[in-house]
Structure 1
Amino acid sequence: MSEGDDETELGDPVRTDDRTGPDDEGAAVEAFERLGLTGYEAKVFIALHRLGSGTARDVAEITDVPRSQVYSVAENLEARGLLEVHHASPIRYRPVRVEEARETLRERFEHEQERALEYVERVQEEMPAEETTEEIWTVRGSGRIDDRIVDLLSNAEDRIVFAVRLPALFDSSIESVLEDRATDGVSVTAISSAQRVRDRLEDRENLRVQEPREPRTEDERSGRIAVVDDDSVLLSVVDDDGSETAIWSVESLFASVLIQLIEANEETLERAA
């Protein structure tokens, strides 16, 4: 999947690099914050591991956490299962072992994840039966569009018409699914003005390969068209910067009407190829 790919159903995830650990305390504190600790909690926990054990004064001397705040922060860490308290005078604190902390944080993360997703599932189940989803979706980036086309083609039962203009937009995953669907008895037609694309498909059994009758050499914007059965369609265009954007729809009035328009005007397919 190419960098910058985006689809409107989902936002982009936060990028992290888990190949190596944080190389400074600031990065470690940020990592702990992403796991649910506050900045002060992370700093106190790290300080106690540096000290082995210590009092509030000891912690305040090597962090920017005020001594008056260390007590409440330590109480929170104790409640989280991340440190132990020795009730002496003065009170001393000792962090749990790293492995124990790792397991505690993992369990907490998994618990919070389940709580969040269970609520989302409940909301989804409570949706009114008559509510419908969006009929038209937008997907950006050639990698994401490759995935969407493969998904659409994989669900074909009767026929596929696929048109592509640029060899760079004819991903091997699409080539494979076209061949597989043709082998399974689906009527598959591939259209392209690019000889390299046609050569890759020419000898595939049960797969029709066509060249547009009048290729439009000045066309630099059309990308790909995929028509599946009578109810699924995807169209893409290539932007001025070379990026690709597509709209797609499945089992919708929009898809049915657009397929009829495409088939009524054969030149539409030829221009895309």
Structure 2
Amino acid sequence: MESHEAFTDVLTDADFSKYEAEVYLSVLELTDASAADIAEISTVPRSRVYDVLRDLETQGYLETYEADSLRARITDPSTVADELYEKSRRFAETAADIENMWEQPPLRQHNVRVFQNHTRTIDEARERLHDADTIVHLAVSPDELEQLQDTLATLRDRDVIVRIALHEGYREIDDPAELDIQYSAVASEVRFCSSVLPFLAMIDGDLTVFGVQSRHGNEYGMVIDDHIHSSILHWYFQIQLWEPWNTIYSSEETDETTYTSIREFIRDIESIRKTNEQVVVRVEGIETFSGEPVKITGTVDDIVYTDSGIADDQPFSQLFIQAAIVVSDDEDEYTIGGYGAILEDIRAVRITIRSIE
């Protein structure tokens, strides 16, 4: 049997006051007790015993009666016992929930919001695009692009990279050059896909707005604030919406060769690396640990990619899943990853070839 003190501690944990716990346990031990008896074996002042007994009776834990003096007895201990069992069950469930929540990734990495109409999806995309800092990938129809053009123009003024996969939507377009769109004002590069695609806006490597709209009225959209899902959608964008299609506009902002896709960079310099020529690059990106912007200039020491094992006649950019480079400057060596990088030191936004020696 637990000590009187241990019983008191449990009851106080179960929302009894200290005096209530002591009086209840005194009556439980004595079976039938007067106020004087209770005061004698507890630390509760006799003047307070009467009030505490009435409070316990009001709560249904015991009953009082008059016999020369006020006395108390417990007719059914199950009232308290059942409450303790219920609290114990809730404590055990909460303890299990705490352990489960601790094992899960932070909620901020897995935030998905769903909408039931396409207008809301575009509105959400416009709002999220305002906060873009480095790079945006878009898959849009001409109508969707028109709704976002003012926001995109603002991003270009801030030197945010904007890559647009433009598709036909639900109209036939023979020549995308005939569209009334000033590409130079809204995009760094535009490629045209002769197909109908879902709406897609990927922002700064972590956040994605995705939307579906069909001719039959079936439409929905979602905002995905999740690193892993955004990386998977970027792979879909790069392989299905970007690589196979022709460029209809590309800004020529400098004379140097600048890449916004590490896979495209690897594809172009892989043959150079095999001839032992030295490639010097400037990397602008984000430190994956701190989230702070960073710029380094150094030599490409190594290229790391994992062969995916698909057919030999596929484009080189599809022949690897992991893609990273190792760059060293005068102070240190850095691993550089692309969109969605987690393990590397830096997630590259721009890679510019400075020299080949």
TM-score by length of 1: 0.41
As a proportion of its length, which structure holds more helix? 1
Relative contact order higher in (CA < 8 Å, ≥ 6 apart): 1
Structure number with bigger Rg: 2
